[in-house]
Structure 1
Amino acid sequence: MSLADSDRELVVEELGREPTPAEAALFENLWSEHCAYRSSRPLLSAFESEGEQVVIGPGDDAAVVALPEDGTDENHSSTYITLGIESHNHPSYVDPFDGAATGVGGIVRDTLSMGAYPIALADSLYFGDFDAEHSRYLLEGVVEGISHYGNCIGVPTVAGSVDFHDGYEGNPLVNVACVGLTDDERLVTAEAQEPGNKLVLVGNGTGRDGLGGASFASEDLAEDAETEDRPAVQVGDPYAEKLLIEANEQLIEEQLVESARDLGAAGLGGASSELVAKGGLGAHIELERVHQREPNMNALEILLAESQERMCYEVAPDNVERVREIAQRFDLGCSVIGEVTDGNYTCTFDNGSGDSETVVDVDAHFLGEGAPMNDLPAEEPSQPDTDLPRTDLEAAFEAVVSSPNTASKRWVYRQYDHEVGVRTSVGPGDDAAIVAVREAECGLAISSGAAPNWTETAPYVGAQAVALENATNVAAKGATPLAAVDCLNGGNPEKPDVYGGFTGIVDGLADMCETLSTPVVGGNVSLYNDSAAGPIPPTPTLALVGTKAGYDAPALSVDADGDSELLLVGDHGLEREDARLGGSEYLRQFDGSDRFPALPDDPASVVDTLAAVADDESTRAVHDVSHGGLAVALAEMVTDEAGLEVSIPVDGGVDPAHVLFHEQPGRALIQTTDPDDVREAFDGVAPVVSLGAPTDDGTLEIDIGETTLETDADAIRTLRSTIESELE
């Protein structure tokens, strides 16, 4: 590890001396891209993060949002949820199991530090081409790590996404979001409160794992990263995390915590300095007091190790003994390592000689906020030319429906315990999950993901589409958007074309979330996701939550009700020769290119109207239309008991492939017993066209133009089992 020359000059000027080795390492990690957002922070002001429902916005370990009492009332209650999202990209390449597992552990501890109990996880995963052996190795390891950790700690993984793209071959992405539950009396923040309060470290012993993890996450992955960077990857212990979750709950219930921060990037040095800096205070820490699991650790190792399952609490002196008792009850280590002061952030270390040496003496605010921002050049990306393939429609249908990107992800989510906690009403595999928040008598819908094909084709519009897609997923379950957090993943920002794409996804996501009146209340940035294979596609993962009255939702699959009709809401492309296929799985399968399709004129009204219609008693099923287009959405709605007979008339100049495979978001298929009511609801909002009706034979028949596509539920199941059949 080494501090950049320009940064060292600033530090020397501030301190009036050369930094100690421990200070230099601390500055290098806390001023890294991973911690300081030096290339991205100037862009993040684009996000609107305020709203009457927002209790705590960006800047803390997790955001806090008030829930409406019954899912629909605008008057918000004292029941709060926390929202947080993290990336563990580089570690998951080096060690897919531990890298992904500790990503889950970290975001859960972010939840604990706000005084919340974790109730749901959502993971969005991105790998290289599924056909590549190394991509499948990473997929298997990451999923195993997430499932092992999440299942052991008893937090359900209810939502997420999995995407495959050759741009992730040398640098997979593992983005994990967590939702927690708290209220106005339990709420804790990461802002130190008062000098004289003690700093107490609770959890696992400190070892040498994860040293330099923050700086490692701020560099391009080298070809030998799997061996050379292994020491920078943390090792998780989910059983200790489960004990920490329950101990934290007891500490919060007894109101023993003044402030809290979990130990993640930059370890104890990062957590403790950030905690006091937010309160405009300082601290004095005696590093030898930290309980350790390895002998002869030096000051720098104790300060920067990213060992997992540890929390730093600010505790009033009179409550320290009770905190010790609770830690002992849950078989957790507990060390009083120092106290909050009104001076500098100082750390001393006694290596056993009896002489205590000051190894850190800096202003906490300068340490946390003093990193200079980067002013980087950006090249605005251009959309591709139109070069459309000529394909056989039946072959195209089979190729798109069986693509790993659109195929069933059952192999992934069946490894997750998504029902633990008895809150899950709608689990993974649907447009959005729903968890019951009985404390506020509402259902919380959760959708998470991005679309690398979209944002590679058109970063700005593609990111807008990602936001609209997640909002549409939530609306399809009858919920209206409440708030969102984002995980902004990009390549090396020092490359103008890469930074231009990253700038595009930031602005696109921000603009659409503002249009949807959905505040972005927190997030994470992960840059330098480059490898020998090149930069990743700009990837704006969005985890969006919405609320609804009750916990039930319309089905995704149709039922064989002879009195119902299937409607397509949104742009159908039936009469337009200029319908766009850009960013579609169809073009990826057949090596074509095109501009990205235009988005709806009034996306907010589309989302609000869809949520209302989805909750209507005449609605039998609702399914979002997006990845893979109309063809995939229709295939996913068919079951062994219920099929669909669909007729799609197209004008002579329109290619049926445009209609079946374009991926404009903000569209939905609705099975309803009152089609006139749906048409009336969407009048002036979005076009509505009748496609046909359900049948009782489990067959999908699509008449489009002069072509008839016919298949059945069993054949569709076989097509959609690509991932399962290859990995079992």
Structure 2
Amino acid sequence: MSEQQFNLDTVDHARTTPDTDLPWAELGLKENEFEDIKKILGRRPTAAELAMYSVMWSEHCSYKSSKVHLKQFGAKVTDEMKKDLMVGIGENAGVTDIGNGWAVTFKIESHNHPSYVEPYQGAATGVGGIVRDIISMGARPVAVMDPLRFGAIDHPDTQRVVHGVVAGVGGYGNSLGLPNIGGEVEFDACYQANPLVNALAVGVMRHEDIRLANASGVGNKVILFGARTGGDGIGGASVLASESFDDAKPSKRPAVQVGDPFAEKVLIECCLELFKDSVVEGIQDLGAAGISCATSELASNGDGGMHVDLTKVLLRDSTLTPGEILMSESQERMMAVVTPANMARFEEIMDKWDVEYSVLGEVTDSGRLVIEWDGEIIVDVDPKTVAHDGPTYERPYSRPAGQDATQADRFSESAAGRDRPAGAELGKAVVELMASPNLCSKEWVTDQYDRYVQGNTALSQPDDAGVVRVDEETGLGVALATDANPRYAYLDPYEGAKASLAEAYRNVATAGARPVAVSDCLNFGSPEDPDVMWQFAEAVRGLADGCMELGVPVTGGNVSLYNQTGGQAINPTPVVAMMGVMDDVTRRTPSGWAPTEDGNAIYLLGTTADELDGSEWARLKGHLGGRPPRVDLAQEKLLGDMLVNMSRDGMIDAAHDLSQGGLAAALADACLRFGVGARIGLGEVAERDGVDEFTLLFSESQGRAVCSVPRTEEVRFKDMCTARGYAFARIGVVDAVNDALDLQGVASVPLAELREAWSGTLPKYFG
């Protein structure tokens, strides 16, 4: 078939030319998948159908390797867990009832590979895409977050990626007027050619404003509105995010989408007015797979079919073929289903906001998705076979051959692990730890983001969680935290995933919010590698079991596979986004002590064991082996409940969870937050827990937090801990006079020295 014949391939032509060669492999399909498509259609696909199936059956869109495992999130859920869940897995984003007629929708997704190819636009369009998911649920976006992971901080290419990604996240989010309230920034050589750019958005709405993505009602109009369709992003979902990078295959690096945040800002307000006036029956954002996704998913979720004239699509590149138009991932586009009676009002709103639109077709009762081009039918499919009934693979997986040896390689038994600082050297170790790339100040990044626009941000980075007010009258709000520990997940993906979940849960509770819902972004290597697939299966099992034990449902999320280059996979990185509800955001708890807290008692909640495997201290010493810290989710739930109650009842002025870097990092963070020192005694609690002072400071045992407690509240604080049977110890006092982290009898670290080390790392590398 010539290029011209391929571009104008019709259904009738396909029926009469069954032996035509088609470029199914170049579009990312496997041979068995191409044969399945022919069986479904009863003929060979047209060029446009091939394009549609290729993007919708891609790993990124169909979850064909992961959905057999993801079913656990639905299977391991109780009625109690679902009581506040208004919309669950399967829609653009989950929706949770937070009370007083308010609902919150939030979701996290990946834009990893595009952000390596073109860092600025890859990151920017990642933000834009997740925001449109929130809009499509009927919500007003109110905040974003961005967990970021880059290669080695001293690698030459890290400069290019970091500068581009951070500028892209900030440029798009700031232009939308959305506060960036949290996230992560981590450096590790395993992400050198595969940075992880995960983007989260959260939106609020009244219960009655919820919208779903379906096309129902025969005769209702199908309308594409927003930006015009161009050639950017073609193949992005089917190829770029669904294959490993391979330098020998430049075709695996197609164009990255190009974003326009100001167009998206107008689109947000336009959509919200459509919702307010109940103009649309169904709505879908156009992200991965573009028109292919929007038409097939709307039709599949509806109760009929759809007829579309593709020549009606407004283009900014007139040379695009029908297949390219279907695959284009041009940004800032939405598709709506509108009754004929509402068309006049729809057009008024479009004109008011100066948004372009075109009526592509209408809903039918045929049960088919039929697409025409220049009067000829080029697509005639059952939309369910495109959108929801794609291939399902039970990929083989097995425990890696070297996993036992990795777990046997304990840090404490290594040369670096046996060389433990003591005495005055402990102070130097704290400074060294806080200057490390993953524990240093991230202000170089976060200062490029607007954290307070809209005036509803109650907490943001560097606090443990971001907090946003939802209701001005009552102070009702939500807290969000994103967490992952890829080193733990590498050592034990089941326990590592639970640890990431526990940390996100703990961070939200530390801020004073009741954890209620989870969204996840599961970043792994190739599913065709049994070792990677074992990591994925174990991590999903850990998250599903953990959510059930904590009583918090997964409301949606994203799977990102093929994160590897040249056969080298990233460390398994299951990112957990936790959302919590706060009755009054004025009661939120910051993560550091303020000058007004001078003399407050500092308490450590929880106990410490020798758990340095996978720790930040072990990373500093170049070691990755052993087993991650043990996670006791019953204790985590108890700790979270106490922290929420303590915050609500005014028992604590500040609280910080213990995670990466252990007690040393938590104390340093708490002092640096507002520049207030502390006097800390380590001896008694170290003796209680049977560990030395080094271990007490640098172990990453879970289920722990430090709290600043007013003297007037100490009795109530201790009574609550005693009544709940939770270990606690008074380890020091807030000292606003002495500008130091004073480890009494051991070492005293001036805050000026600590701050210089902590704040100097990123500017040293990135300017």
Q: Which TM-score bucket, shorter chain as reference? A: over 0.9
Give the AA of the match of 1:502: F
Q: 1:299-338 residue pairs with structure 2 within 5 A?
A: 299-338=322-361
- Secondary structure at the aligned position of 1:682 is classed as helix
Give the AA of the match of 2:564: D
2:661 aligns with one of 616, 628, 633: 628
Matching residue of 2:5: none
Matching residue of 2:717: 678
Matching residue of 2:746: 708
Question: Using a 3 Å threshold, how does the CA distance of structure 1 residues 442 and 563 change in structure 2: closer, same or farther?
Answer: same
How far does the alpha carbon of each residue in 1:562-590 deviate from its partner, in whole angstroms, 9 at most, with x for none?
542110001223xxxxx221220000111
> Which moved further from structure 2: 200-209 or 214-223?
214-223
2:259 aligns with one of 236, 241, 245: 236
Matching residue of 1:535: 569
- Secondary structure at the aligned position of 2:44 is classed as coil
- Secondary structure at the aligned position of 2:306 is classed as strand
Give the Cα separation in 1 of the matches to 2:702 and 2:160: 32
Q: Is 1:724 paired with 2:763?
A: yes
Coordinate RMSD, CA, aligned: 1.8
Q: Is 1:12 paired with 2:38?
A: yes
Q: Structure 1, unaligned stretches of length 5 or more?
A: 70-77, 351-355, 574-578
2:638 aligns with one of 605, 623, 639: 605
Is this contact kept in 2: 1:116–1:186, CA < 8 A? yes
Question: Using a 3 Å threshold, how does the CA distance of structure 1 residues 568 and 10 change in structure 2: closer, same or farther?
Answer: same
Give the Cα separation in 2 of the matches to 1:384 and 1:308: 49
Give the Cα separation in 2 of the matches to 1:605 and 1:398: 32
Matching residue of 1:267: 290
Matching residue of 2:52: 26
Q: Is 1:565 paired with 2:591?
A: no
- Secondary structure at the aligned position of 1:374 is classed as coil
Q: Structure 2, unaligned stretches of length 5 or more?
A: 1-25
| TM-score normalised over the length of structure 1 | 0.94
Q: Is 1:697 paired with 2:724?
A: no
Is this contact kept in 2: 1:484–1:520, CA < 8 A? yes
Give the AA of the match of 1:204: A
Q: CA deviation at 1:441?
A: 3.9
Q: CA deviation at 1:556?
A: 1.9
Give the AA of the match of 2:341: D
Matching residue of 1:212: 235
How far does the alpha carbon of each residue in 1:119-159 deviate from its partner, in whole angstroms, 9 at most, with x for none?
01111111111121212321111110010000111111111
1:588 aligns with one of 615, 619, 630: 619
Q: Is 1:53 paired with 2:84?
A: yes
Q: CA deviation at 1:232?
A: 3.1
Give the Cα separation in 2 of the matches to 1:554 and 1:254: 39
How far does the alpha carbon of each residue in 1:461-481 deviate from its partner, in whole angstroms, 9 at most, with x for none?
111111111111111111110
Q: 1:260-659 residue pairs with structure 2 within 5 A?
A: 260-343=283-366, 344-350=368-374, 356-380=375-399, 381-382=403-404, 383-388=407-412, 389=416, 390-392=419-421, 393-438=426-471, 441-532=475-566, 534-552=568-586, 553-560=588-595, 561-573=597-609, 579-592=610-623, 593-600=625-632, 601-639=634-672, 642-649=676-683, 650-651=686-687, 654-659=691-696
Give the AA of the match of 2:395: L
Give the AA of the match of 1:701: D
Is this contact kept in 1: 2:629–2:702, CA < 8 A? no
Give the AA of the match of 1:689: A
Is this contact kept in 1: 2:459–2:590, CA < 8 A? no
Give the Cα separation in 2 of the matches to 1:265 and 1:563: 55
Give the Cα separation in 1 of the matches to 2:541 and 2:254: 36
Q: CA deviation at 1:642?
A: 2.5
Question: Using a 3 Å threshold, how does the CA distance of structure 1 residues 82 and 562 change in structure 2: closer, same or farther?
Answer: closer
Matching residue of 1:73: none
Q: CA deviation at 1:685?
A: 4.1
Give the Cα separation in 1 of the matches to 2:307 and 2:456: 43
Give the Cα separation in 2 of the matches to 1:723 and 1:532: 29
Give the Cα separation in 2 of the matches to 1:109 and 1:506: 26
Q: CA deviation at 1:33?
A: 0.7
Q: CA deviation at 1:641?
A: 5.4
Q: CA deviation at 1:314?
A: 0.4
Give the Cα separation in 2 of the matches to 1:653 and 1:147: 46
Is this contact kept in 2: 1:484–1:545, CA < 8 A? yes
Give the Cα separation in 2 of the matches to 1:281 and 1:8: 26
Give the Cα separation in 2 of the matches to 1:252 and 1:568: 49
Q: CA deviation at 1:242?
A: 0.7
Q: Is 1:127 paired with 2:125?
A: no
Q: CA deviation at 1:537?
A: 0.9
Is this contact kept in 2: 1:165–1:452, CA < 8 A? no
Give the Cα separation in 1 of the matches to 2:306 and 2:602: 64
- Paired-residue identity, %: 39
- Secondary structure at the aligned position of 2:545 is classed as helix
Is this contact kept in 2: 1:170–1:533, CA < 8 A? no
Give the Cα separation in 2 of the matches to 1:656 and 1:499: 40
Give the Cα separation in 1 of the matches to 2:393 and 2:604: 47
Q: CA deviation at 1:330?
A: 1.6
How far does the alpha carbon of each residue in 1:495-537 deviate from its partner, in whole angstroms, 9 at most, with x for none?
1111111112111122222211111111111111111371011
Matching residue of 2:194: 171
- Secondary structure at the aligned position of 1:619 is classed as coil
> Which moved further from structure 2: 163-172 or 449-458?
449-458
Q: CA deviation at 1:678?
A: 2.1
How far does the alpha carbon of each residue in 1:339-393 deviate from its partner, in whole angstroms, 9 at most, with x for none?
111221111101xxxxx22111000011112222111122235434213321433
2:64 aligns with one of 19, 38, 41: 38
Q: CA deviation at 1:394?
A: 4.0
1:223 aligns with one of 247, 264, 272: 247
Give the AA of the match of 2:566: A
Is this contact kept in 1: 2:427–2:749, CA < 8 A? no
- Secondary structure at the aligned position of 1:481 is classed as strand
Give the AA of the match of 2:758: R
How far does the alpha carbon of each residue in 1:19-50 deviate from its partner, in whole angstroms, 9 at most, with x for none?
11111121111111101101110011222465
Is this contact kept in 1: 2:245–2:252, CA < 8 A? no
Give the Cα separation in 2 of the matches to 1:556 and 1:653: 28
Determine which structure has the larger helix proportion and give its number.
2
Is this contact kept in 2: 1:630–1:662, CA < 8 A? yes
Give the Cα separation in 1 of the matches to 2:230 and 2:725: 58
Question: Using a 3 Å threshold, how does the CA distance of structure 1 residues 191 and 412 change in structure 2: closer, same or farther?
Answer: same
Matching residue of 2:6: none
Give the AA of the match of 2:223: V
Q: CA deviation at 1:325?
A: 2.5
Q: CA deviation at 1:621?
A: 1.4
